[in-house]
Amino acid sequence: MFQTLYSYFWWERLWLPANLTWADLEDRDGRVYAKASDLYITLPLAFLFLVVRHLFETYVATPLAGLLNVKEKVRLKATPNAVLEKFYAATTKHPKQADVEMLSKKSGCTVRQVERWFRRRRNQDRPSLLKKFREASWRFTFYLIAFIAGMAVIVDKPWFYDLREVWKGYPIQSMLPSQYWYYMIELSFYWSLLFSIASDVKRKDFKEQIIHHVATIILISFSWFANYIRAGTLIMALHDSSDYLLESAKMFNYAGWRNTCNNIFIVFAAVFIITRLVILPFWIMHCTVVYPLDLYPAFFGYYFFNFMMVVLQSLHIFWAYLIIRMAQKFITGKVVEDERSDREETDNSEEEEEVAKNGPLSNGHPVLNNNHRKTD
């Protein structure tokens, strides 16, 4: 049964145009072609990426955070309470009003104390500023290096300037060593992102991030199997062109460099919109949808590859919407924040009570000058 499924999976009509077989892509006369077995190395490389990331975050990102004066907010801890902790862990982190009243009776706390306890407990589980900075630093470093490497791989190729060259001679297109390593490193990195997504900073687009990583892994792998390598290198370099700008903006935001963050964000927004909403659909996708039909009839691989491109493009439109919302806040003078972030909650009612009793507080202590405003 396994052999039958294997045969169906690698049926030439799924992966290659008509009248071509895998025998046409066997290495000969010094020409090397992409093979599915080449991708086995990406899984151990993905775990190597996780090790390198840990070392980078520990010995590079953490000292850098200290130099940039990345400071943590003082978080008030929730008082230990077995009843509330059990409900928090087993039921929900966001109890409804009826649940709050029930927990108030069980725990002996007032309704207001229960609400405050859940706010503080949720804040305790939110990632620290240092964790966010370290993650952004790692991604910034990879995306910047990947973009430079990607441009080095494709900038001297004829298909970088004339997209019709992408399909010249397809699929009998030999693989270059630079293309091999570019593919292996990019695919390994996205595997590592998928492996670590559960422990990384969770944002509002968590599900979309999973879809993006899975779609990217499938698209990179399929383009390798079907020898869409020329198109694949163009697509990967195009995606890396804006990602390092976003991560650098986050780093400066966490460090409190608001003006620098906002300026980089504006550059990122412009590059993202131009590359993802203009170049990708109107140049690259036009190249993958229209030009191949001049050479061979459409086949399953053609439809599948372009379907995955549509999935990625849909995610780009979703993220462009979030970026435009942030740009509007910047234009209106509001602080630019990552729309995907889960904002920390504050105990407003508690602060008002403390102010009434003791005057404004700073890190839990009264300040002498009552004209100063408490900063969360």
Q: What is the pLDDT of residues 234-257, one digit of tens each?
A: 999 999 999 999 999 999 999 989
The label of the residue with tokens 């508690």 reads: 350
Say which residue, 206 or 184, is predicted with more confidence.
Answer: 184
- The answer as to whether 339 is a domain residue is no
Mean pLDDT of 21-32: 83
Question: Which band of pLDDT confidence, cut at 50, 70 and 90, is reported for residue 352?
Answer: very low
Same domain for 145 and 103, yes or no, is no
Q: Which range has highest mean pLDDT (5-19, 22-36, 117-131, 210-224)?
A: 210-224
258: helix, strand or coil: helix
- The answer as to whether 16 is a domain residue is no
Same domain for 312 and 260, yes or no, is yes
- What rounded mean pLDDT belongs to the chain? 83
Same domain for 324 and 226, yes or no, is yes
- The answer as to whether 292 is a domain residue is yes
Question: Which band of pLDDT confidence, cut at 50, 70 and 90, is reported for residue 364?
Answer: very low
Task: Give the residue among 170, 278, 186 at the shortest CA–CA distance from 231.
Answer: 170
Q: How many CB atoms lie within 10 A of CB 225?
A: 18
* Residue 88 belongs to domain with CATH number: 1.10.10.60
pLDDT tens per residue across span 158-169: 999 999 999 998
Same domain for 263 and 139, yes or no, is yes
The pLDDT score that the predictor gives to residue 290 is 94
Say which residue, 88 or 2, is predicted with more confidence.
Answer: 88
Say which residue, 41 or 328, is predicted with more confidence.
Answer: 41
* DSSP letters spanning 37-80: GGGGGHHHHHHHHHHHHHHHIIIIIHHHHHHTT--PPP-PPPPP
Mean pLDDT of 194-200: 87
Pick the range with the lowest mean pLDDT from 116-130, 177-191, 264-278. 116-130
* DSSP letters spanning 301-351: HHHHHHHHHHHHHHHHHHHHHHHHHHHHHHHTTPPP--TTS-PPP--HHHH
Residue 45 has pLDDT above 90, yes or no: yes
- The answer as to whether 376 is a domain residue is no
Residue ranges making up the domain that contains 40:
29-68+128-332
9: helix, strand or coil: helix
Q: Which residues contact 156 (CB under 8 A, 6 or more apart)?
A: none
Same domain for 266 and 304, yes or no, is yes
- The answer as to whether 366 is a domain residue is no
Look up residue 341 and give its amino acid.
Answer: S
Mean pLDDT of 277-297: 93
